[in-house]
Amino acid sequence: MKVQVVQAILSDNDAVAVENRAALDGAGVVGVNIMASPGAGKTSLILATAARLPKDVGLGVIEGDLASSIDAETIAASGIPVVQINTGGGCHLDAPMIRTALPRLPLVELRLLMVENVGNLVCPANFRLGTHVNVVVASAPEGHDKPYKYPGMFAAADAVLLNKAELRPVFDFDMESFSAGVRMVNPAAPIILVSCRTGEGLDTWIDWLLARRP
């Protein structure tokens, strides 16, 4: 019975995700689902991305958190259109939440929509939002074992970013082991080393991101 209930929930969610994708496609907007554990640097990555995008690429953001609007306020202070979603304890965003947020954004002025999912390396991988690509952000201080502990998340990624890359020596981060773990479940996704503090790898990330546009 539990399996049937879960399947029904996911099926209903996927139906709304299709509607969300159609809304984004109709507006010419590419949706990017940013997934990571708390503290990996999702918000910092969004701000660093916004600062480097070409002027003709409008960026909007949907912020997902358990509570508060701290990150949304930070993004709004940079002049980026942003909508806050508080899940009230839920460990992930879902497609109906995104459907509610989309009308509150100026989609006709945007070309990219970045969805900062709730900090979690488990649940977000199971719920489609209607975005076009999934990006997983890991960070050097978290350790190189994350792909082995959370294979489902890394398997769902279209790109894997290793943030705070400049801290690898400090935390004895084993890049070879990390890459092998990603490749074990996802042979195709690029692994991009980035640092929002030093700027390392951000141009490579921006190039990959802009290539997702039609």
Distance CA 81, CA 169 (A): 37
User: What pLDDT does residue 9 have?
Assistant: 62
User: What pLDDT does residue 5 have?
Assistant: 45
Query: What is the gyration radius of the CA atoms in the chain, in angstroms?
Result: 17
Q: What is the CATH number of the domain that holds 148?
A: 3.40.50.300
Q: What is the largest CA-CA distance in the chain?
A: 52
Closest CA to 93 of 69, 126, 61: 126
- Residue 171: helix, strand or coil by DSSP? coil
Running along the chain, 214 residues long, what does each successive block of 10 average in pLDDT? Answer: 54 95 98 97 98 96 95 96 94 96 98 97 94 98 98 98 98 98 98 98 98 89
- Sequence-separated (6 or more) residues with CB below 8 Å from residue 18: 130
User: What pLDDT does residue 167 have?
Assistant: 98
- Sequence-separated (6 or more) residues with CB below 8 Å from residue 63: 69, 71, 72, 75, 82, 83, 84, 85, 116
- Residue 71: helix, strand or coil by DSSP? helix
Structural domain count, the chain: 1
Range of the domain at 9: 2-210
Distance CA 206, CA 200 (A): 12
User: What pLDDT does residue 6 have?
Assistant: 52
Geometric angle at alpha carbon 104, from 47 and 85, rounded to 5°: 65
